[in-house]
Amino acid sequence: MLVSSSPGEVHGLARPVAEKALAMLPAADVWIFVSPGGYASGREARVASAYPGVRRAMNPRELLAFLAFGKRPLGFASSGSGVVVHLGGKLGFSVLLSRRLRYPLIVYTDRTILGARSASAFLVEDERIQASLISKGVPADRVRLVGNLMIDGIRVDADRDQARTYLGAEDEERVVLLFPGTRAQEAAVMAPFLFRAVELLARVERDLRFVLCLSPFIGTASLDSIFSHSRHTGKIDGSSAQVQKSAGPLEAVTAEGVNVRIETLHRYEAMVAADIAICTPGPVCSELAFLGTPYVAAAPLNVPSVVPVPGVSPLLSAVPLVGEILRKRAIERREKSDRFLSIPNIKAGKLVAPEVVGQLRPEDVVIPCVELLGDTARRDRISRELREAMGVAGAAEMVVQTALSASRGALRGAEEG
C-alpha cells in the first residue's frame, strides 16, 4: 500500500516504487492511496492508476471513507500479508491506514519528519536526515539510508542525437525546455510568465528551439485557458499563447509569434536533448540534475496563493486575510534567506544551478539563461556537478526490499503470536 499526495510525490516517489515492485514481486498487489493535500491537482488517482504494476489508485475521498468508516474502495482487496509505505504527504494518513489494515508501516522521507513511533523503518535520502532523526530519538537500527528515490523513475530510451531528432531540432539549434509546474492553477501563472521569457530570449538569441514539457497531471483539454494569461495579469508579467491543433506535434504560438512545442510523452528524452531548462523548484530539478541538464530554477512569489510559498501551509495560505499575512511574511523571509531552493543545490551545498526567487519579472529569468547559453564551458561544469550531487539510482529497490522484510516479519510475528 503506497501512500502519497501531491503530483511531485506521486510521480517522483510512488511511481518508481510501484515499477520496482512489479519487477521484483510480480505476484504482489500494489495499491496507491492518494492522501489529501493542499497542492493536489485532482488528477493524481487517475494518473497513478495507469502506472505499471499498480492495481488501482484511490482518491482522497476514498481513503478518508476507508479510514473513518471502514468503507472499502471499489475493487480494493487486502490479504493477511502486506505493508504500508509512506511516500509523501501527511504522515498521519499512513499511520491510520497501517492501523486499519494491521500492516507494518515504513516511512520514506527526504526531510526530518517524526511522529510515527510504530514505524518499522525510516528510509532516508541522505546522511544529514539520518543523523537528524537519530538525534531526535529514533533508534539507529530503524533508520536506513537508501538515497534519492526521485531519480529511480527516470527512463531514457534515446541518446542526445536521437532525442534532438525526435524534437525536430536542427544541428545549429539550442534546445530550451520549459516546465510550468504540475497543477493547472500553477501552470496558469507560470506558463504565460515563461512564454514572455522566451519572447525576450528570442529577441537576443538566435537558433533556439523551445519545448514546454507538460505534466501528466495537467490535461491538454485545458491548455487554451491555461495559456490565455487572463488571470493575475496585474500581478505578474506574461504573454498569452494559442494552441495550434494539427496532425503534427502539439505546438503553441505566443503573442509575438514564437513557436513552442508541447511535449506530453517523452519528457526525459527532452531533458537529454536540452541545452538548458527553466523550471519551478521541485522534483523536476532532481530529474534534470541526474541527467546533467543545466537549469534555472524560478520561483516567482508574485501570486503566492497559486504558486507554492515555502514555509506556508497551502491550507492556511488559502484563508482570507490570515493567509495573505502569512504569505507576505514568508515572502519577506524567503527574499532575505540565503538557503537554496532546489534539491540538487541543497545536496551540493552550493549554488550549482542558478536560482531566482521573489517578485520576479521575466527578465530576471532571461538574464541567467543568456549567460548559460553563451558559456558552453560553464554549462559543462554545471552538468558535471549536478550529476555528482544526485548520486546513483537504486533507492526504489531498497524501499521494496525493506517493505518485503517488514511484511514477512509481521507475518512471522502473527504466526508466533
Tell whether 136 and 207 lie within a shared domain: no
Percentage of residues in the chain having pLDDT higher than 90 = 69
The C-alpha angle 118, 124, 127, rounded to 5 degrees, equals 125
Tell whether 326 and 346 lie within a shared domain: yes
What is this structure's pTM?
0.90
| 23: containing domain | 2-154+393-416
Tell whether 378 and 314 lie within a shared domain: yes
**232 contacts 189 by C-beta, under 8 angstroms:** yes
Q: What is the pLDDT of residue 39?
A: 80
Tell whether 143 and 67 lie within a shared domain: yes
Tell whether 362 and 220 lie within a shared domain: yes
CA–CA dist 78, 403 (Å, integer): 16
**189 contacts 303 by C-beta, under 8 angstroms:** yes
Tell whether 232 and 326 lie within a shared domain: yes
The CATH number given to whatever domain includes residue 40 is 3.40.50.2000
Mean pLDDT of the chain: 89
Taking alpha carbons only, the member of 110, 153, 187, 198 closest to residue 22 is 153
Give the model confidence (pLDDT) of 135-179 as tens digits.
Answer: 888 889 999 999 889 899 898 989 999 999 999 999 999 999 999
Tell whether 273 and 211 lie within a shared domain: yes
Return all residues near 340 (Cβ < 8 A) that are at least 6 apart.
346, 351, 355
Q: What is the pLDDT of residue 396?
A: 96
Give the model confidence (pLDDT) of 102-113 as tens digits.
Answer: 999 999 986 666
**67 contacts 45 by C-beta, under 8 angstroms:** no
Number of domains in the chain: 2
Q: What is the pLDDT of residue 315?
A: 56
Tell whether 53 and 133 lie within a shared domain: yes
Tell whether 201 and 305 lie within a shared domain: yes
Q: What is the pLDDT of residue 415?
A: 46
CA–CA dist 84, 32 (Å, integer): 10
Query: Region 378-402: what's the mean pLDDT?
Result: 95
Tell whether 265 and 166 lie within a shared domain: yes
Q: What is the pLDDT of residue 320?
A: 61
Give the model confidence (pLDDT) of 54-69 as tens digits.
Answer: 999 999 999 999 999 9
CA–CA dist 346, 274 (Å, integer): 23
Three cell numbers, residue 81: 500479508
Own/partner contacts of 182-185, CB < 8 Å, gap of 24 or more, are: 182/6, 182/7, 182/8, 182/11, 182/41, 182/215, 182/217, 182/218, 182/282, 183/7, 183/39, 183/40, 183/41, 183/215, 183/217, 183/218, 184/41, 184/218, 184/219, 184/222, 184/226, 185/306
Q: What is the pLDDT of residue 193?
A: 97
**296: exposed, middle or buried (C-beta count within 10 Å: 0-12, 13-18, 19+)?**
buried
Give the model confidence (pLDDT) of 252-306 as tens digits.
Answer: 999 999 999 999 999 999 999 999 999 998 889 999 999 999 999 998 888 866 6
Is 30 in a helix, a strand, or coil?
A: strand
Query: Region 343-362: what's the mean pLDDT?
Result: 93
User: At what angle are helices 60-69 and 91-101 packed, to 10 degrees?
Assistant: 50
CA–CA dist 88, 6 (Å, integer): 8
Tell whether 377 and 401 lie within a shared domain: no
Tell whether 137 and 194 lie within a shared domain: no
